[in-house]
């Protein structure tokens, strides 16, 4: 089965508040996006990598991976889901799409393997996720606790998220056209009545979002290289 990795990298990193989009900040001597692309390009089961870039991107061409034969770029959109859809439009119809945030550079081959292997159990797709660890509270409008949410069945959604390419394209398009809230690929599939699988991923597969996350990601990358 053909597997295409889709990498939304068209965001501006407003919460990071750096002088450039966070995917171009450097960790251990190379940019976050370069780390992410290395993990995907070097995986033997990934045939192609499609990266969605901001229309005014000025940095991608200088990455060491920019001319890799497996790599294709497209112009992303105003929301993450628009960027994913733009990339999906360039993907072959048959096979699988593995969507992974540019901002998650600590992904391991082990987690990719685990998600790819889950296709046997989840023919309509699955996502990497982490069981919630803390006690969860629901707030009222005054910022007080209104209740404790049972965490038994609560998970954090991570990426990669893996779906049959044509199924994901169909439902993502429809969900966006209907104005559904689509913050990840699974939510578009859920909107269409599908129940994607949950595959327990590693805790170090963090999304670099706030400045604090940079140090943590560097630590995880160091540990993985040790």
Crossing angle for the helix pair 32-41 and 109-117, to the nearest 10 degrees:
50
Q: Which of 6, 13, 96, 206 binds ligand CTP (CB under 6 A)?
A: 13
Q: Which of 79, 190, 213, 218 binds ligand CTP (CB under 6 A)?
A: 79
The interface with ligand CTP within residues 23-42 (CB under 6 A) comprises: 23
The smaller minimum CB distance to ligand CTP, of residues 83 and 165, is found at 83
Q: Which stretch binds ligand CTP (CB under 6 A): 67-75, 96-104, 116-124, 216-224?
A: 96-104
Residue 62 beta carbon to ligand CTP: minimum distance, rounded to whole angstroms: 17
Neighbouring residues of 11: CB distance < 8 A, sequence distance ≥ 6: 21, 22, 23, 54, 80, 83, 102, 103
Residue 98 near ligand CTP by CB under 6 A? no
The smaller minimum CB distance to ligand CTP, of residues 119 and 175, is found at 175
Q: Which of 6, 11, 63, 129 binds ligand CTP (CB under 6 A)?
A: 11
65 and 49 Cβ atoms separated by less than 8 Å: no
Residue 73 near ligand CTP by CB under 6 A? no
Residue 95 beta carbon to ligand CTP: minimum distance, rounded to whole angstroms: 22
Q: Which of 65, 83, 161, 165 binds ligand CTP (CB under 6 A)?
A: 83
The interface with ligand CTP within residues 158-217 (CB under 6 A) comprises: 207, 209
Residue 58 near ligand CTP by CB under 6 A? no
201 and 130 Cβ atoms separated by less than 8 Å: yes
Q: Which stretch binds ligand CTP (CB under 6 A): 5-13, 89-97, 184-192, 198-206?
A: 5-13
Residue 50 near ligand CTP by CB under 6 A? no
Beta-bridge partners for 198? 127
Residue 127 near ligand CTP by CB under 6 A? no
185 and 168 Cβ atoms separated by less than 8 Å: yes
Beta-bridge partners for 48? 4
> Where does this chain bind ligand CTP (CB under 6 A)?
8-15, 23, 52, 76-80, 83, 101-103, 207, 209
């Amino acid at each position: 089965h053909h597997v295409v990795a889709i990498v939304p990298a068209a965001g501006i990193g407003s919460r990071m508040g750096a002088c450039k989009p966070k995917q171009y900040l450097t960790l251990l001597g190379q940019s976050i996006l370069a780390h992410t692309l290395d993990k995907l390009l070097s995986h033997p089961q990934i045939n192609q990598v499609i990266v969605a870039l901001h229309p005014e991107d000025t940095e991608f061409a200088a990455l060491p991976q920019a001319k890799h034969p497996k790599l294709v770029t497209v112009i992303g959109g105003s929301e993450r889901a628009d960027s994913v859809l733009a990339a999906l439009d360039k993907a072959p119809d048959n096979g699988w799409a593995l969507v992974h945030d540019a901002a998650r550079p600590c992904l391991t081959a082990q987690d990719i393997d685990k998600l790819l292997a889950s296709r046997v159990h989840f023919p309509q797709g699955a996502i990497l996720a982490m069981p919630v660890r803390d006690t969860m509270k629901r707030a009222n409008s005054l910022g007080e606790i209104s209740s404790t949410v049972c965490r038994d069945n609560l998970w954090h959604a991570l990426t990669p998220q893996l779906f049959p390419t044509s199924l994901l394209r169909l439902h993502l398009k429809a969900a966006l056209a209907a104005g559904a809230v689509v913050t990840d690929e699974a939510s578009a599939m859920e909107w269409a009545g599908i129940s994607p699988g949950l595959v327990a991923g590693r805790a170090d597969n963090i999304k670099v979002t706030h400045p604090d996350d940079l140090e943590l990601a560097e630590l995880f990358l160091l540990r993985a290289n040790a």
